[in-house]
Homo-oligomer: A and B are copies of this chain.
Amino acid sequence: MTPHASIPLKQEVNRLISGIAEPGRQRATTVLDVARVAGVSAMTVSRALNQPQRVPAATRQRVQAAVEATHYVPNLLACGLRSRRSRLVAAIVPALDSTVFGETVQALTTTLGGAGYQLMLGQSGYGAAGEDALLQAIVGRRPDGIVLVGVDHSPRTREQLAGCGVPVVETWDLTPTPIDMLVGFSHADVGAAVCRFLAARGRHHLAVVSGADARAARRTQTFVATAEALGLPAPAQIEVTVPSTLGSGRQALRGLLAQHAAVDGVFCSSDMLALGVLTEAAHQGIAVPGRIGVVGFGDQPFAADAEPALSSVRVDGARIGREAALRVVGRIAGTPAPTLDVGFSIVSRRSA
């Protein structure tokens, strides 16, 4: 095809796109349409878009103009199929109704987006029930990487993930046996640390209010074990339904006071639960921190502004997302990265 001096006019563009052979049915524009309009080959269009540095500026501009004239949007299904790079990273989070993982997802999106990848989000629900079906659907899209929140997965899931040859990052937890890569912190350490934190402040009659999820259970376990190690009375344990709400926190404190009147320190598995405890305490005229100390988990935006300000376990969720994204991208590029423990800190505020 003879190279044109410039991009044809709009009507000419339309004629070129629709083609002379079949002017009837509407087709989506393809590289070939763009190529025809720009007066180059399909391959040159592809290169101009994907490896701009390998194409002279003049050609690049012609192609760019043709892309705009034809409203071309590359078919990423075809790109992915041919190049075996879908430029898609999947993330599986337990749920979206809590906001705990929000900043992780946000950071994932941003970091991946900057590297030219798009995030595909799946909800596993708390529990491994629908996880297999979800995974099947995700793996079928041939993502270049998979980010998981949590390390508790069915053997079938682990097997499928390990077998499909895709980089996997597990997050928000540590385990000695990761499927592949790992970015998280030790929930066991959190439980122990919070117990010592409360004990150090003279709280000896402890309690845990916890939603029924695996990570919270690990925190509870070491919290209780540490209390025992410190020679304290066995902490009361109250389990609430997930997703945990302010209401279940209030109810938990009522139950706690009814059955364990001496309680003077409460560790809640989420800040919202803790806010419920604060609310109920205020309502009943129970002094916080005077009579009861309260510690939450997550250091949500509202924790610092609660009344009294809520002590909480701070985890850098954004960093987890960022590091997970970098690991996936790095692995795709051939650079392996070691397990990262992002740690946590206890933010001491008035409530304890």
Contact = CB atoms under 8 A, between A and B. Distances in A.
Interface of A: 26, 28, 71, 73-78, 80-81, 86, 95-99, 102-103, 105-106, 109, 118-123, 136-137, 139-142, 160, 163-165, 243, 245-247, 250, 272, 275-276, 279, 282-283, 301-302, 304-307
Contacts of A246: 301-302, 305-306
Given A247-B304, A302-B247, A305-B279, A96 B86 contact: no
Contacts of A97: 99, 102-103, 106
A126 to B, nearest CB: 12
Given A77-B86, A81-B81, A245 B301 contact: yes
A120 B96 CA distance: 14
A282 B243 CA distance: 27
A301 B249 CA distance: 12
A75 B123 CA distance: 21
Given A123-B106, A279-B307, A282-B282, A136 B247 contact: no
Nearest to A283: B307
B272 A302 contact: yes
Given A26-B165, A246-B306, A302-B247, A109 B123 contact: yes
19 contacts: A28-B165, A75-B140, A76-B137, A77-B80, A77-B141, A77-B142, A97-B102, A97-B103, A98-B99, A99-B99, A106-B123, A118-B141, A119-B121, A121-B121, A246-B305, A246-B306, A247-B305, A250-B305, A279-B306
Contacts of A306: 246, 279
A305 to B, nearest CB: 4
B73 A136 contact: yes
* Copies of this chain in the oligomer: 2
B307 A73 contact: no
Nearest to A120: B120
Contacts of A307: 279, 282-283
A326 to B, nearest CB: 19
Contacts of A102: 96-97
B282 A305 contact: no
Contact of A75 (B81, B122, B302): B81
A269 to B, nearest CB: 16
Given A120-B121, A246-B306, 8 more contacts: A28-B164, A73-B139, A74-B140, A75-B81, A96-B102, A96-B105, A118-B137, A245-B305
A13 to B, nearest CB: 15
Given A81-B81, A302-B275, A305-B276, A106 B99 contact: no
Contacts of A76: 137, 140-142
A172 to B, nearest CB: 16
Given A99-B99, A307-B279, A307-B282, A140 B81 contact: no
- 8 closest Cβ contacts across the A-B interface? A247-B305, A246-B302, A76-B140, A121-B121, A97-B102, A77-B81, A245-B301, A246-B305
A307 B247 CA distance: 11
Contacts of A139: 73
